[in-house]
Amino acid sequence: MANHNPPPTAYVNAHLLDPDSGLDQAGALLTDGERIADLGPNLFGDGVPDGVAVVDCEGHYLCPGLVDMHVHLREPGHEHKETIATGCAAAAAGGVTSMACMPNTMPVIDDVALIEFIQRRAREAASVKVYPFAAVTRGLEGKQITEMGMLAEAGAVGFTDDGLPIADSLVMRRALSYASTFGLLISQHAEDLSLSGCGCMAEGEVATRLGLPGIPEVSEVVVVERDLRLVELTGGRYHVAHISTSEGIEAVRKAKARGLAVSCEAAPHHFTLTDDAVGDYRTYAKMAPPLRSEANRQAVVAGLKDGTIDAIATDHAPHDQESKRVTMAHAANGVVGLETMLALALELYHQGEIPLLDVLQRMTVGPADLLALPAGRLKRGAPADLLLFDAALPWQIDNDRFHSKSRNSPFDGREVRGRALRTVVDGRTVYTYDA
């Protein structure tokens, strides 16, 4: 991404972690320019050669940079909430080296010119790699399918009307059918809006107590189950964004067992919080899909554990104060997540739920492979996209210290462990932690 090659750099005294190969041992890694030149336990046994810069990792973990396949960067159209540049800064601080941005911008990313705009702005930011999703339907109107072949050729890594479900079954069938001829991924925001109605949190005891209209679990499940039938019919590649219900996850599990090309992702807030977080009408805990019951939270953890859920993705959705400091009914959906993803995902490891390599797999090679990105692996010749992190470092999430333009996180004040110390993209350091 840079105009000049960064110098050769030796990362010594590292604990190397590569979820793809299963590498989990002390060692060193050498970058040369934008690529990984070598790595292993015995590298630099005779010392680092002259002319090579040295980074002492002090025994901390060195792994592939994180890949976030679901990010809202708000540009073009809502730059007061986030820009590609500020989103990249937030990603770098969170250890994310590649991210895929959603097309529900203004104008919508539904033609080649918009794909090129995103790519150009990402190059200008010159830090984290940004890959655009394009819309499935023109203007996100759910009617006319976009020119997916041309958009993919221009650089779209997948297709989604995220924020809005594709409600019309015939349109979804055509989209899956068209995409399957190119092997393209269709990602669905699985929600039946007629069932969700004016709901502003999950249906259940908390909603009843607060007197708020609820969103039933079935609004996710019926769309997932319909779409899986259409996948069977068309042979398309189908992905459920931010899956949140036990029945939705079980439907995907069964579809995978039948050999369908189906995948899904979960957001950190859906495996770390429940609808209790809405508490006393906290709009920072309002999102779509909503925070759900403890049983659903546990189902998400189980899905991540057994691999039914392929990726952890933030659904980073920045909003200005005016969009959140209103009543629950009128508040915008969404939370920022790029800077808290690593620490929240590591809770799964610290609590003994999921092994560390498996947690990292869901944030590196898992999403990278779904989007066919050259990312997520520590191996010779791979891009030098690296994350150095301290898994045990305790800290308190503080919304006021985010690099993002927005502050809408329900995790403000939460005590967590695990922090990015250094983020490297194409051999260049784009972030270092300053305690």
Catalytic choice (18, 20, 110, 315): 315
Q: Which spans in 289-409 are helix H?
A: 294-306, 321-324, 341-350, 356-361, 365-370
- How far CA 395 is from CA of 157, 286, 391, in Å, comes to 35, 24, 11
CB 345, CB 313: distance < 8 Å: no
State yes or no: is 161 an active-site residue.
no
Residue 183 has φ and ψ, to the nearest 5°, of 70, 30
Query: Residue 351, Cβ neighbours under 10 Å: how many?
Result: 9
d(CA 146, CA 278): 37
CB 237, CB 184: distance < 8 Å: yes
Angle (CA) 276-164-215 rounded to 5° is: 30
End-to-end CA distance of the chain, in Å?
28
- How far CA 2 is from CA of 123, 209, 426, 427, 429, in Å, comes to 8, 54, 8, 10, 11
Residues with catalytic roles: 315
